[in-house]
Every structure is written in structure tokens, then in C-alpha cells.
Amino acid sequence: MKVEIWSDVMCPFCYIGKRKFEKALSQFDKKNNIEIEWKSFQLDATIESQPNKTINEYLAERKGISAERAKQMNDQVTQMAAAEGLEYHLDKAVVANSFDAHQFVQFAKTKNKGNEAEEALFKAYFTDSKNISSHNLLLELAASIGLNTDELKNALQQNLFADKVKQDIYEASQIGVSGVPFFVFDNKYAVSGAQPSETFLQTLQHSFNEFKIEKK
């Protein structure tokens, strides 16, 4: 049974949601029968890479709030992440466009490494404060998960996976996705946001039971 997850590398709740879903999956006795597909989504497709701007400044401008309020929001998210065993350094995060990072994930998916690519990107962005729009970084991450860097370099230079990214974003708009993470179970049941692990586990069990009946 397939679980599709729409996500943006820059979305702090997406990394948290990934951990909560993984916790639920680890408790699911039929986990070996679950196929996970990461789908591209951009919270802000117009964002320009601005290494000299802080995330607090970017968030304040985007939401029309004070930098102090933006910092409070990011501090709260950092605490939420810590509760899931994640280390966020949002004060050092690099403002960057995520489109090429999504191309990297799409490339990795063709090698059955989509989940590894997603994890590497999240860690690079939230924990290691790396510029996820940098092709050099994407090549480093590719090498770290065993992918051919020459292939990826060519794919990025030629925008070979741009259409795949756009297709995922279009699909999201068609099913009414306005925020991420967004999980779709067996093309029928949706869970929006970084919900408690219990919610993911219940949805896994319910959707898989139906899936089994339909396959008989």
C-alpha cells in the first residue's frame, strides 16, 4: 500500500511530521507492506536564495509580523522538534529556494533513495544550516547516500526533473493541499500536518485493512 507525502524541505513541520510518521510506522506490524513516496511542494515558489537574511527576518516579512514574534514562533517550533529528537538551528538557517532540492529528491526517487534524500536535506537545512539551493551541497548529499554525482549534476544543469516537481505541485493543488506535510494513504485517506503518531498509526491500520479487503 502506498503512502504519499507532500513536503517542502524548508517546512519545519515536515521534518517533525516525518519523525512522527516513522514512529507510527515502526509500531505497525505490516510496515514491510508500505511503500512511501515523497512528493514535491513549495511553500513559497517565489523565494530567492538570500544567505545574508535570517529566517526570522524572512518570516516577519512574509507574514507581516515583527521579527520578535517571528523568533518566538521559530523558538516554539524548535522545542517541538526537540521533543521528536530533532536538533533545529533556525537562527542560522539559510533562506533559499527549494526547487532544485526537490529536483534532487525526484532524481533520488528514480534510484529508490527518495526517503534518504529527504532525510539528508532536512538535516542539512534544519540542523547543519546549509544552503539547500547550492548545487555543490546537493552533490555532497547525493554522494553521502550513494548516488552518482555526475548523473545528478547533469540532471540539475539540464533541469531534467523540473517537470516532475511541477507535476507534484499541480497534483497537490488538484486535491486541495494548501499546506504541508500532507499524507495520503492508499489514494483515499488524508492526514494534514504533523499529527500525533497515534493518528498516523490509526490511519495506517484503517487504510491497510481496507486495502487488504479490496485486494482479495
Output the average pLDDT for the chain. 96
The lowest-confidence range among 22-26, 57-61, 182-186 is: 57-61
Query: Is 147 within 8 Å of 113 (Cβ atoms)?
Result: yes
Question: For the purposes of burial, counting CB atoms within 10 Å of the CB of 51, is it exposed (0-12), middle (13-18) or buried (19 or more)?
Answer: exposed
The reported pLDDT for the residue numbered 52 is 87
Tell me what percent of the residues of the chain surpass a pLDDT of 90: 95
Tell me what percent of the residues of the chain surpass a pLDDT of 70: 100
Average pLDDT over residues 47-74: 93
The reported pLDDT for the residue numbered 206 is 97
**pLDDT at 64 exceeding the cut of 80:** yes
Strands ordered across the beta sheet of 182-185: 35-40, 2-7, 182-185, 189-192
Specify the residue for cell string 546549509. Answer: 130
**pLDDT at 51 exceeding the cut of 90:** no
The reported pLDDT for the residue numbered 215 is 78
CA distance 22 to 190: 16
**pLDDT at 197 exceeding the cut of 90:** yes
Per-residue pLDDT reduced to its tens digit, 86-101 = 999 999 999 999 999 9
Per-residue pLDDT reduced to its tens digit, 106-149 = 999 999 999 999 999 999 999 999 999 999 999 999 999 999 99
**pLDDT at 214 exceeding the cut of 90:** no
Query: Is 117 within 8 Å of 103 (Cβ atoms)?
Result: no
Q: What is the 8-class DSSP label of residue 92?
A: G
CA distance 161 to 155: 7
Average pLDDT over residues 163-173: 98
Q: How far apart are the first and last CA of the chain?
A: 14
The reported pLDDT for the residue numbered 116 is 98
How confident is residue 8, by pLDDT bands cut at 50, 70 and 90? very high
**pLDDT at 61 exceeding the cut of 80:** yes
The reported pLDDT for the residue numbered 127 is 98
Higher pLDDT, 52 or 85: 85
Going 28 to 40 to 115 to 110, the CA torsion angle's sign is positive
- Residues 6 or more apart whose CB falls under 8 angstroms from that of 19 comprise 84, 85, 86
- Element containing residue 140 per DSSP (H, E): helix 135-144
